[in-house]
Amino acid sequence: MNRVGICYHNKSAEAANVAMALKEAIGIVTNESWLCTAWDEETLNRNIDGTDLLISAGGDGTILWAARSALTRGIPVLGVRMGILAFLAELSASEALERIPALLQSESSIEERTTLQVEITAPGANAGPFHAINDVVVSRGAIGRPITLRVSVDGMEVASLRSDGVIIATATGSTAYSLAVGGPVLPPEAPELVLNFVAPHMTVATALVLPATATVEVQVGDDEEAILSVDGQTDRPLSTGETVRIVRGKYPARFLRTHAAGESYRKLGATLGWLPRDLE
């Protein structure tokens, strides 16, 4: 790997210090490295072409931003754990600083994960496509006011009900918002999708596991306020008559992995309190 980018949480002095130390460590192998803060689209777009690896120092939010930025270019991402929630991270800061020169000179495994592609089918500005690594959520736009959601899978209506929202999650996102409302956890590289309602009114709160080939469409009831949220980082208000269409993305998210395959389950066990959370 000759050209390496490093992005770090824009409000964390600790993450900035780790990023600078990583850049110095990478210099042992190659001088082709660059830095930017997360959400600095201008700097990232100026430097990312030709990059072989993108390192993210921060929590899961920072890693998600980096992975979406690298998505269409096929660049793998290495997550360095800095935040409280960093389930996507592969290494702690100390591990990364110790091992990064060796990792750049040897072959590491690349884990590919399913993503989502989202479009709004009614004409209008900012209709997509958007790319999600965790999940797509259509939720209420007003506090305390549930919305009517009509959901179809492959053209067949499967639900018409009032709730706070609906989540369509990947296997990666099955450990995020969907899990918080009782959804199942899928194996990290599973291609299937999870369909899960948030606080459905007067009905059973359960989730569906859908095949990777499924097309999900969500429409909000007339004259109701709703928001489309992509990975919890890109939000767009929805208007009457607009339909959100979600399919499996054609670009997989690629993560550089150094640990054994079962490590993801150990991380999950720690996150759920089954194990001590200190995985250093």
Residues with catalytic function: 60
Instruction: Report d(CA 120, CA 218) in Å as an integer.
Output: 10
Helix, coil or strand: residue 60 = helix
Residue spans of beta strands (DSSP E) within 199-266: 207-210, 216-220, 226-230, 234-238, 243-248, 253-257
DSSP 265: H
Instruction: Report d(CA 86, CA 224) in Å as an integer.
Output: 35
Residues 6+ apart with CB under 8 A from 261: none
Instruction: Report d(CA 3, CA 48) in Å as an integer.
Output: 9
Residues 6+ apart with CB under 8 A from 206: 182
Instruction: Report d(CA 241, CA 88) in Å as an integer.
Output: 36
Contact 217, 195 (CB under 8 A): no
Instruction: Report d(CA 185, CA 187) in Å as an integer.
Output: 7
Secondary structure tally for the chain: helices H, strands E: 6, 19
